[in-house]
Structure formats: structure tokens, C-alpha cells
Amino acid sequence: MSKTRTTLTIDEAVLRAVKIRAARTGKGDSEVIEDALRRELGLDLLDKLWKRGDLDEGQAIELAVEAQHATRRAKR
């Protein structure tokens, strides 16, 4: 997967929390931020769907709807 460099302006307390999580988990700041964004956007559920090629159509639809609902809840 290709990566793109970007600049973010975020609250200092949020950045401090990112750095603490990164230190505790042994991950880099960027990885912690990307993981959080993936969860918030529901992409983690979509990743599970793509990794499990053994799903039948009904199961795939169920997971897709679950991801859609998670994304809608996050936007509220």
C-alpha cells in the first residue's frame, strides 16, 4: 500500500495522547494516527471483508452493512 506524506494541525493534547499510545505500543506516531482514522472511518471492517475471501454473498453484504452503520454512527 502506498503512503502519502501530509501535514496536520491538531490539538496539542491529542498529539500528546498519540505519542503516549505510540510509546506504549511500540508503534510510530503515524501508525497510531492511521489506525485511529481507519477505525473511525470504518475501514477496519472493510479490511476484514477483503481479507476473508471465503465469505458467501450474504455474509459479505452483512459485513458491508455493518461497516456502513459504523461509519454513520461515527458521523453523528
In tens, the pLDDT along 13-22 reads 999 999 999 9
| Cell, residue 3 | 503512503
**pLDDT value of position 45:** 73
pTM of the predicted protein model: 0.59
Place of cell 511500540: 26
| Cell, residue 46 | 472493510
How does pLDDT run across 26-69, given as a tens digit for each residue? Answer: 999 999 999 999 888 877 776 666 676 677 778 878 888 888 88
Give domain limits for the chain.
8-39, 42-76
**pLDDT value of position 40:** 85
**How far apart are the C-alpha atoms of 17 and 43, rounded to whole Å?**
22
Question: Could you give the C-alpha distances from 11 to 14, 29, 33, 41, in angstroms and in order?
Answer: 5, 14, 13, 20
